[in-house]
Chain A
Amino acid sequence: MIAWTIYVTFAGAVAALLVPRIAARAVALLTALAGFVISLCAFFVPADFSSFETVVRVPWVPMLGTEFHLAADGISLTMALVTGLTAVSAVLFSWDVDERPNEFFFWLLLVVAGSYGVFLSADLFLLLVFYELVIVPKYFLIAIWGSTNKEYGAMKLTLYSFFGGALAVIGAIAAYAAAASLDLQELSRFNFRPELQAWAFPVTFLGFAVLAGIWPFHTWAPTGHVAAPTAGSMLLAGIVMKLGAYGALRVAMNLFPQGYEMWRDWIAALAVIGIVYAAAVALRQRDLKFVIGYSSISHMGFVLLGLATANALGVGGAVLQMFSHGVIAALLFAVAGRMIYRRTHTRDLDALSAMRLSRAMPFAAFTFVIASAASMGIPGFSGFAAEITVLIGTWRAYPSAVWVTGIGMVLVAAFTLRGLTKSFFGDRAGVDTTTPESHPLAPITAAEKWGAGLLMFSTLAVGVYPKLLMDRIQPAIEAMRWLPR
């Protein structure tokens, strides 16, 4: 059943391109909803979440030994769910796109379809096909519909993604050359020579991690996020960065366990640097989207740190954080990009602080408070559940890293609160010239309310009852062979 998410979304993408321009957004919404409902059903149907269970398996290119092979375990289902969730809200938050809407929703749905594909692939070649398929739609989404230095941001993001993808492909080809197979299950049982693992693991892991925003290869993320249209930032932060982390887990760590053992200290170090560095940078930004962009890198640092712990709790927390950050980042970008920027035409924190937006847009302020709280890791929201799990896992592997990460978390709270107060609860009355009283801000639309409500509900639900996800994630991780027993 879950395989239909891919087919439906691809079909919807083509349909969105062909229908009359007025109907494009409706088609996109229906498609995204269909994908979401399917992933939701698949998520709640009881199954054996520990095994990577085959859904579809058809021979594809016999000469290469690759198959069209889709499978799902608890991790895949969780990631498919966050993809569906983000896709629906991204479409809702781009309800006002009226420049070339057909193409816009075509590229948007291609990103979504490719992401479903990555999360469900059980064949290495297929996974890479979907992974690289996502690259170009992002370029067009940003370069055509973006803002602020959009062509630079789009090209940088695309080249970084392709660079990472190329590294991952090199690793995949090396694995294929050694094992003569492309089936992920088979490869994860194959014992690669340690000399091969010693170079193939870092190449593959780094290749995927570029897209997850690993320091120092993170610089595409802030510029890309800022330049992207709202739905583009939501998809980028919500799903695309997760593709990288997922690939690092599913491919690099699963295939080359010895290489992982050799290199995981370095990954942990880079992750911790990323958490603290990005948070510190975010503290000094003047553009609200840059603040959120750097916060994404900081939060993705938790994912990478969790992946480096080599224990079930840490890695499980990393997957939980992927879900949690997907929802929260989408929400933050929705407020910054759609609710604020489309109405005030500025994201400059000083300018915003003069506008008293909390009074002009109470719903937006409410949403942003919730999102910020979740982002800071206030208990009761998904961010807390995920980060605390990662940190407990880290405590077992790298106790010293937890202390440094603690500094990072303080910084995260600091810049989040700074962004929140400056954007909505500014006190610089009297200097306001940008929004005269005669031009009140447009009211929040129903589409925005639904999209924001959906995301807020998700982060709250997972925060209150994280077991819902952990019950599915944990068995899948415990089944992975590199876990010390």
Chain B
Amino acid sequence: MNYLQLLQLALPEAIVVITALAVLTVGLTRERADDLATGIGVIGLVAAAVAIGRLPDSAFLFGGMLVVTPLTALFKLICLALALFTVVLARGSGFTRHAAEFVGIILLATVGLMVLVGTEELLMIFIGLELTGLSLYVMTAFDRASRSSAEAGVKYFLFGSVSSAFTLFGLSLVYGMCGTTGLNAIGQKIGAGPIEPLLAAGIVMTLVGLAFKIAAAPFHLWAPEAYTGAPVPSAAFIASGSKVASFVVLGKILLVGFAPAEGSAEWHRVAAGWAPLIAALAALSIIIGNLAALAQTNVRRLLAYSAVAHAGYTLLGLLAGGREGFGATLFYTTTYAFTLLGAFGVVAFVRRETGGDDFAHFKRLRRHSPLLAGCMAVFMLSLAGLPPLAGFFGKFYLFAAALSAGENQGLLWLVALAFFGSLLSLYYYLLVLKVIFVDDAASTESTYAPAGFDPLQRITVAVLAAVVLGLGVLPSALLGRIAAALP
């Protein structure tokens, strides 16, 4: 193993880092650098995607610190795509005079996501988590003129750093008990003997940190603040990119590293392990997320609480385990990320036109832009899980995997709970659509001058809606790749 080879395998990450530095330099040297920074960022992300296409099929470096498999390549591509959409949507948002720095930090966060996706080793996982986390804290607090942005940033940072501490503590205990940091080796060690109390403590601590990342209840308290207070593009990236990568890494840790300590969450046959823990997180998330979302009158807050509920659904796939379950989780979280990114795109548009994102601000959306109103309908109905959108297939596949796992449909209780949660969620998603499509006739003229979207941004949102529709009609386009990439 020489360093040239390492550089080749880490080329995509390297390209994104270099792009980030270039963008920051441009921002330092030029006064109004919005367009240039966006352009460089887009080019860098596309170049990184091309570089991923040229990676070898599989490589395994330094005990799993850098892993190249079809799965990691696929999810690095997805992270890049999410970053690309975020960069485009962030253009011209006007909350900062330092647009180039914002783009630079998005790129750095993307590197963090790629590291997270592309590793099977505890140290690198922690580095990835921290790199992503720190970038996202900065992005959250980026709007210096807004108190709520600063508040959200501080809250997110405090919660985030405490949970990072938990994770690090947990990882160190796991390392101490197993004597290794590679996930495969840890899996073998745990499988070799009974589970020591200290190891159990390590597992629980690790899960706490990751539950924070995916915003599963009861570790979700930062999400409503961050989603509502942060600049819209930051919130979109937190909700999409960070979530996808966190689920990938959580899946790897649970299904590879901690696999022998699974236990069982099946009704009547609960056995100690991480499964009952995850089942409890899932159940709590579904209940709390959906109930809290019912009471919201702000679209971003509503999306935040519903994100908690969706984290709960997604965990079902990890409980089911195996190729089916992990594949269902990955499909669901990916389609969810695209959906939420699109929804935040529409929110950004409304915010620019009306200065807010409460329900009332959406009343005139259908008149201002029928296209974006239609896109919002696609996103909301997909989140509610209605066909022919991606959310329906995702949920069906997820729940089918959960029921097929084990014997006698032992996870039926969770699936039934998830269906009940979906019923609640349909109500509040329809409320959003009601404001847009039903209430608009009664609305009055607003005093705001439209700042608007440029055509490129409208097209971006439309493309996201098309992706959500397309993955609902032809899910094999993504699911086939995921299934082929899973070992």
Contacts and interface: CB of A to CB of B under 8 A. Distances in A.
Interface stretch (B17-25, B237-245, B332-340, B392-400): B392-400
Given A139-B430, A170-B415, A64 B386 contact: no
B403 A174 contact: yes
Interface residues of A, number: 32
A143 B438 contact: yes
A357 B300 CA distance: 53
Contacts of B412: 170, 174
Contacts of B427: 155, 159
A173 B426 contact: no
A254 B437 CA distance: 40
Contacts of B423: 159, 162-163, 166
Contact of B386 (A60, A132, A155, A170): A132
Interface in B466-487: 475-476, 479-480, 483
A440 to B, nearest CB: 30
Given A64-B397, A129-B392, A158 B430 contact: yes
A133 B327 CA distance: 25
A166 B409 contact: no
A245 B101 CA distance: 60
B417 to A, nearest CB: 11
Nearest to A103: B437
B189 interface: no
A162 B426 contact: yes
Interface in A106-124: none
Contact of B400 (A60, A158, A176): A176
B387 A133 contact: yes
A159 B434 contact: no
Given A61-B479, A151-B434, A151-B438, A133 B388 contact: yes
A41 B114 CA distance: 58
The SS class assigned to the A binding surface is helix
A140 B483 contact: no
A170 B419 contact: yes
Nearest to A99: B441
B386 A173 contact: no
Interface string A115-152: 00000000001001110110110011001100000010
B386 A136 contact: yes
Nearest to A180: B404
Interface string B278-320: 0000000000000000000000000000000000000000000
A173 B434 contact: no
B233 to A, nearest CB: 29
A431 interface: no
A163 B420 CA distance: 8
A169 interface: yes
Interface residues of B, number: 33
A63 interface: yes
Interface in A330-346: none
The SS class assigned to the B binding surface is helix
B459 interface: no
Contact of A144 (B404, B437, B475): B437
Contact of B399 (A63, A129, A130, A173): A173
B125 to A, nearest CB: 28
A484 interface: no
Nearest to A203: B416
A436 interface: no
B483 A173 contact: no
Contact of B419 (A139, A166, A174): A166
Contacts of B388: 129, 133
Contacts of A155: 427, 430
B387 A129 contact: yes
A430 interface: no
Contacts of A103: 437
B422 interface: yes
Interface in A392-430: none
B381 interface: yes
Given A132-B386, A166-B419, A170-B416, A177 B476 contact: no
Contacts of A170: 399, 412, 415-416, 419
A62 interface: yes
A63 B327 contact: yes
Contacts of A129: 387-388, 392
Contacts of B327: 63
Interface string A164-185: 0011011001101100000000
B468 to A, nearest CB: 15
Nearest to B427: A159
Nearest to B484: A63
A139 B327 CA distance: 33
Interface in B366-421: 381, 386-388, 392-393, 396-397, 399-400, 403-404, 409, 412, 415-416, 419-420
Given A64-B397, A176-B404, 10 more contacts: A63-B476, A140-B433, A143-B437, A143-B438, A144-B437, A158-B426, A162-B422, A166-B422, A167-B419, A174-B412
Interface of B: 327, 381, 386-388, 392-393, 396-397, 399-400, 403-404, 409, 412, 415-416, 419-420, 422-423, 426-427, 430, 433-434, 437-438, 475-476, 479-480, 483
Closest 6 CB pairs of A and B: A129-B387, A177-B404, A166-B419, A177-B403, A143-B438, A173-B400
